[in-house]
Amino acid sequence: MRQAVAQLAPVLTVLTDLGERFAADGHDLALVGGPVRDAFLGRTSNDLDLTTSARPDDIEPILQDWGNATWDMGRQFGTIGARRGGTVVEVTTYRADAYDGTTRKPVVAFGDSLEEDLVRRDFAVNAMALRVPDLAFVDPHGGLADLEQRVLRTPSSPEVSFGDDPLRMMRAARFVAQLGFVPAPEVLGAMTEMAGSIDIVSAERVRDELSKLLLGDHPRAGLELLVASGLADRVLPELPALRLEIDEHHRHKDVYDHSMIVLEQAIDLEGPADGPPESVPGPDLVLRLAAILHDVGKPATRRFEDGGGVSFHHHEVVGAKLAAKRMKALRFDKETTKRVARLVELHLRFHGYGDGQWTDSAVRRYVTDAGDLLPRLHRLTRADCTTRNVRKARRLAAAYEDLEVRIDRLLAEEELKAVRPELDGNEIAEALGIRPGPVLGRAYKHLLAVRLDEGPLGKDAARERLLAWWSQQPESRDG
């Protein structure tokens, strides 16, 4: 308790002040949920969530006297927010909600006691409170013991808790990923039995929980809980579909296990949170999504070859489409979806480089096709090597190191990140005597291909190559 209070020292003055103000008006006030849990875990929390016996109309004037600004965060739900300086608080009336089981929106009812409020919370570790200003600790559901054991239990029965709000099952997986907890057997049983009820939750809410899970310290554990409980079959079915598929290293692992290892290895390759963009500062959602989705095209492309082999031709192309489709269904933004799908599409491009047959042209195309995703593609490609064959692993690592050296050399010599044809659109139009339109677009692409294949030629040589190409086009004869 002393350690938890010490963790709260930076905000203790604020909590005491607010507690005294509410007490002076005859109301109870308590810090509740995540901030209390994090204080016992020695973690810094940016949230100051408080609960009170006061109703919203009583909360607002107290906060107006205390803060520089107040706002209505949902009066019908009992929540008023306030700010004083850099400190933001949210104060909510005790709740005693009821649910109809068909939506996750509660019929809001205000409660009369802290204990009544705590029993409706998602997990016992989040159902602890610290009364202010006297700092009395309230833990009716054994949340502190659960913290000690790193276990997730629900204050009420898990069937009731998840029936009230199915999103809590996703939160369980998120807490496993973020905090290293494990679900109690009855919690896992209820998640498995009730997995289908996640369908009433909006895709946006599911996406947010999945993103938080992936950005946690232990995302593999969270994903494995989603798969084991059957939730992944509803929200990310491409992942459990990998379990029975054998990948190109089928001697010792399946695609599901391989994808989990790739995720862990990609995380190990992330840069520090404050590192430069080229280091891919972690946690990086795009890289982690690409890692778990990079092989989702394999089930649809698996072919059994003569002699007992297995092939997955073009699984990267199929996988890119499947990844984009799933991310759109989960309402990921367009840019994130585009980046993840592109990484899935490009993740096999490196293979074959080890044969030593890549020209500078191939390296240029690798760089330009990746664009600003190149640092992530480097890490995804390296992480995709999960072979236990030490000699093969060393060979692949050496080949990729050689590729990176060549990329750095070409970047320095030719500024590949900004590669363009040596004639711009106006110059192409003037040389060919054409107007802007599809033909100009084709001419531009041709000169870009020449630039990628042969490197810098100079404007005169580029113009000659353009005119030679133009002489072979039907439009030149029509003009």
Least confident of 7-11, 267-271, 455-459: 455-459
- β-partners of residue 310 are 304
State mean pLDDT over 57-74. 93
pLDDT value, residue 139: 96
CA–centroid distance for 435 within its chain: 45
CA dist., res. 305 & res. 43, Å (int):
53
* Pair 47, 87: CB distance under 8 Å: no
CB burial of residue 426 (10 Å; 0-12, 13-18, 19+): exposed
Tell me the two tokens of residue 24.
């002076």
Per-residue confidence (pLDDT) for residue 363, from 0 to 100: 85
What pLDDT, in 10s, does the model give residues 369-396? 898 999 999 999 999 988 777 888 888 8
Q: How far apart are CA 219 and CA 413, in angstroms?
A: 40
CATH T-level assignment (fold) for domain 150-236: Hydrophobic Seed Protein (1.10.110)
Task: Assess whether pLDDT exceeds 60 at residue 344.
Answer: yes
Q: Please count the CA atoms within 13 angstroms of the CA of 23 that sit on its side-chain side.
A: 11
More confident residue, 451 or 293: 293
pLDDT for the residue numbered 354: 59
Asked whether the bond before 283 is cis by omega within 30 degrees of 0, the reply is: yes
Q: Give the containing element (helix H, strand E) for 361.
A: helix 360-370
For the chain, give the percent of residues with pLDDT over 90: 59
What pLDDT band is residue 421 in, cutting at 50, 70 and 90? confident
Q: Say what the pLDDT of residue 244 is.
A: 60
Contact 295, 247 (CB under 8 A): yes
Stronger pLDDT, 277 or 455, i.e. the higher one: 277
- State the pLDDT at residue 405: 86
- In Å, what is the CA distance from 304 to each residue of 223, 247, 249, 296, 301? 29, 11, 14, 18, 10
* pLDDT tens-digit readout, 179-189: 999 999 999 99
Residues paired with 239 in a beta bridge: none
Q: CA 290, CA 286: separation in Å to the nearest integer?
A: 6
Three state DSSP letters for 17-71: HHHHHHHHCCCCEEEECHHHHHHHHCCCCCCCEEEECCCHHHHHHHHHHHCCEEE
pLDDT band of 458, cuts 50, 70, 90 = confident
- Strand 129-132 with 29-32, pairing: antiparallel
Residue 445 one-letter amino acid: K
**pLDDT score for 99:** 64
Beta bridge partners of 303: 311
CA distance 284 to 277: 11
Q: If we measure between CA atoms, which residue out of 195, 185, 82, 175 comes closest to residue 122?
A: 175
Look at residue 251 and tell me whether its pLDDT is greater than 50: no
Tens digits of residue pLDDT in 120-139? 999 999 999 999 999 999 99
CATH topology assigned to domain 2-149: Beta Polymerase; domain 2 (3.30.460)
List beta partners, residue 261.
none
Give the tens place of pLDDT for each residue, 302-335.
777 666 666 677 898 999 999 999 999 999 999 9
Query: Which pLDDT band, with edges at 50, 70 and 90, does 156 fall under?
Result: very high
Question: What is the pLDDT at residue 249?
Answer: 47
H-helix or E-strand spanning residue 72: strand 69-74
CA 77 to chain centre: 29
d(CA 343, CA 70): 44
> How many other β-carbons are positioned within 10 Å of the β-carbon of residue 265?
17
Identity of the residue numbered 326: R
Model confidence pLDDT, tens digit, residues 280-291: 999 999 999 999
User: Domain segments of the chain: what residues?
Assistant: 2-149, 150-236, 258-418, 425-478
For residue 375, cis peptide bond before it (omega within 30 degrees of 0): no
* Averaged confidence pLDDT in the chain: 89
pLDDT given for residue 102 in this prediction? 63
Cα 312 from Cα 304, distance rounded (Å): 9
Give the pLDDT score at 252: 39
Tokens of 323: 């990844």
pLDDT (average), residues 156-180 = 95
CB atoms under 10 Å from CB of 444, counted, come to 18
pLDDT at 254: 79
